[in-house]
Amino acid sequence: MDFHNKKLVIGLIGAGRIGNVHYKNLRRMSDVQLKTICDIRFDDSWKEKYPDVSNFTTNYQEVLSDPNIKAVLICVPTDLHPQMIKDAALAGKDIFCEKPVGFNNKDIIDAFKTVTDQAVKFQVGFNRRFDKSFMRIVDCRNEGKIGRPQILKITSRDPEPPSYDYVAHSGGIFMDMTIHDFDMARFISGNEVKSVFVSGNILIDDKISKYNDIDTAIINLKFSNGMLGVIDNSRQAVYGYDQRIELFGSNGVALAGNVPESELTYASSNGTTRDNPEYFFLQRYNEAYFNELRSFFGAVQGKHKVVCTFTDGIKAIRLAEAAKKSYNTGTTVEVRDIYSY
């Protein structure tokens, strides 16, 4: 195999928190070359910070016009996603884009059409699909170990609320946080969500009401195959990032638990104590982030299909919109009533 002869040359657009997560994982791949980083905050100190990167730019068109670059990772704020996706697709680049694919429906559909027309590969950054334990639930389902799926339960709680600033631009809890759970609901069940019913409240921090948002929610799901689902969300679990999924069916149940910080157990007269779950997504999903890039590059190299498509990105947004509408109206919302594409 001449795998190493032809390194896959890529560009990174946006080197903020998540961009740097990807950068670190790229360093573990000897068959991929990150040639160019584009970020409007670039200054000369970055040359030392990213010693194996040849080019830096503040203009993403420079990345897109580089004929050696085959694929780009788009890690900029959400509102910039659709335009950049469109431009990258027109430049013939394969695209990995962080979630959500956008805020504005018209722009998203526009970008989607361009990607489809240009026939470039496109993967959206739902990293949890690449978590080892969650993938094992899907394995169980595919192997018939669940039988007929009947109940899906997703627990998804952050260790601490984001800043008010972040909340202001996040699109709300359903678009920012639950969107991952909506994608998981589809991925784990292998089914489409038909309708959504939401109970929500502000139980952690009243100030969040200023941003027209909530911090605690329970979301009921009905699926096209008749099965039922429920997601519970909280912005603050003081014991760490709580990320559990359970798929129950006629042949058995598969549960993915949290990953503890270590395998230590300590017992004294005060009880038997274990470590809490890994604190947040950078810890818990570090290998999932690595795996999602490997999967993207595998698709770029034609080894397999894209696992997590533009359509997946859009469907999760539709579910977030349905959830918002359900919360606002207090009624069940049929997903087909959210404008379709």
Query: What is the nearest approach in angstroms of a second copy to the Cβ of residue 301?
Result: 17
Among the residue ranges 46-54, 82-90, 113-121, 296-304, the one whose residues contact a second copy (CB under 8 A)? 46-54
Should residue 173 be labelled a site residue for a second copy when binding is judged by CB under 8 A?
A: no
* Cα dihedral sign, 63-68-74-79: positive
Should residue 260 be labelled a site residue for a second copy when binding is judged by CB under 8 A?
A: yes
Structure-token pair, residue 315: 């469907």
Given 97, 259, 288, 333, the residue binding a second copy (CB under 8 A): 259
Gyration radius (Cα) of the chain, Å: 21
Closest CA to 231 of 276, 172, 183: 183
Among the residue ranges 13-21, 54-62, 175-183, 254-262, the one whose residues contact a second copy (CB under 8 A)? 254-262
Peptide bond into 162 cis (omega under 30): no
DSSP three-state, residue 3: coil
Count of residues engaged in binding a second copy, rule: CB under 8 A: 80
Q: How far apart are CA 183 and CA 78, in angstroms?
A: 17
Q: What angle do CA 65, 70, 72 make, to 5 degrees?
A: 80
Among the residue ranges 61-69, 178-186, 195-203, 333-341, the one whose residues contact a second copy (CB under 8 A)? 195-203
Given 106, 169, 207, 274, the residue binding a second copy (CB under 8 A): 274
Q: Residues 122-161 vs a second copy: string with x where CB under 8 A? A: ----------xx--xx--x----x--x-xx-x-x-x----
Q: How far apart are CA 34 and CA 53, in angstroms?
A: 6
Whether the CB-CB separation of 78 and 170 falls below 8 Å is answered with: no
Closest CA to 139 of 188, 101, 178: 188
Beta carbons within 8 Å of 300's beta carbon, 6+ residues apart: 8, 70, 71, 94, 121
Should residue 113 be labelled a site residue for a second copy when binding is judged by CB under 8 A?
A: no
Structure-token pair, residue 312: 């997946």
Query: What is the nearest approach in angstroms of a second copy to the Cβ of residue 336?
Result: 16
* Cα dihedral sign, 49-54-57-63: negative
Among the residue ranges 8-16, 82-90, 217-225, 308-316, the one whose residues contact a second copy (CB under 8 A)? 217-225
Given 83, 204, 211, 301, the residue binding a second copy (CB under 8 A): 204
Q: Which helix (H) or strand (E) holds 299?
A: helix 286-300
**Residue 221 amino acid letter:** L
Should residue 43 be labelled a site residue for a second copy when binding is judged by CB under 8 A?
A: no
Nearer to a second copy, 79 or 205 (CB): 205
Should residue 276 be labelled a site residue for a second copy when binding is judged by CB under 8 A?
A: yes
Nearer to a second copy, 83 or 251 (CB): 251
Given 16, 77, 92, 226, the residue binding a second copy (CB under 8 A): 226
Among the residue ranges 111-119, 181-189, 255-263, 297-305, the one whose residues contact a second copy (CB under 8 A)? 255-263
Q: Residue 198's beta-bridge partner residues?
A: 219
Which residues between 78 and 107 bind a second copy (CB under 8 A)? Answer: none
Given 17, 44, 268, 340, the residue binding a second copy (CB under 8 A): 268
Query: What is the nearest approach in angstroms of a second copy to the Cβ of residue 129?
Result: 14
**Residue 125 amino acid letter:** G
